[in-house]
Amino acid sequence: MRKPLSILALLMSVSIAQAGPKEDAAQLVERWSKAFADADLDGIVSFYAPEATMIGTFGKVVMTKPEQIRKYFEATILNSPPNTVALQSAETLLIDERTVVLSGFDTISGVMKDGQPYSSLGRVTFVIAKQGSDWKIVHLHRSPLPKT
């Protein structure tokens, strides 16, 4: 009886250890969400590739420089620090072994500087690419969910 259990445990550990690009990309988004919820500015920007582009929730320009992305998140964290970031649903598309698109719906909630609680429902798309041995966000777009 011990032998089959040992083989099963070995097979399970091999399959977990060999997570694919979709799983790797999802883990990056989870780590990004935690850094955002923790208001960890350095952590947030560390997930972006140097050539990343981004359109923020109420953005009116496409950000193309790391300092623009940093400034955007710095303002967001100072004005309305998030408490939670939750991805409600998401679809993951494997473009190739080094590129993944994750699109879905999320909720960001927290308390404004004036003490008022807020909740922001949104649509979000991450494009994540493997650069060297690391997965990085190469594009992020988030927009508010329409009321109707």
87-129, pLDDT tens digit by residue?
A: 888 999 999 999 999 999 999 998 888 888 989 999 999 999 9
Q: Which residue has the higher pLDDT, 8 or 63?
A: 63
- Region for residue 132 given its phi and psi (left: phi exceeds 0; alpha: psi -120 to 50; beta: otherwise): left
* Mean pLDDT of the region 41-46: 96
Over the chain, what is the mean pLDDT?
87
Residue 18: per-residue pLDDT = 60
Reply yes or no on whether the pLDDT at 137 is more than 60.
Answer: yes
Q: Which of 13-22, 37-46, 105-114 has the lowest mean pLDDT?
A: 13-22
Residue-number span of the structural domain to which 99 is assigned: 20-144
CATH number at residue 69: 3.10.450.50
Q: In this structure, is residue 10 part of a structural domain?
A: no
Q: Which residue has the higher pLDDT, 84 or 27?
A: 27
User: How many separate domains does the chain show?
Assistant: 1
pTM of the model: 0.83
Q: In this structure, is residue 135 part of a structural domain?
A: yes
Q: In this structure, is residue 6 part of a structural domain?
A: no
Distance CA 95, CA 139 (A): 14
Structure token digits, residue 141:
């777009």
Q: Do residues 127 and 137 lie in contact, with contact meaning Cβ atoms separated by under 8 Å? A: yes
Q: In this structure, is residue 3 part of a structural domain?
A: no
Structure token digits, residue 101:
């698109």
Rounded (to 5) percent helix, strand, coil in the chain: 35, 45, 20
How far is it between the farthest Cα atoms of the chain?
63
Q: Token match 């960890």: residue?
A: 40
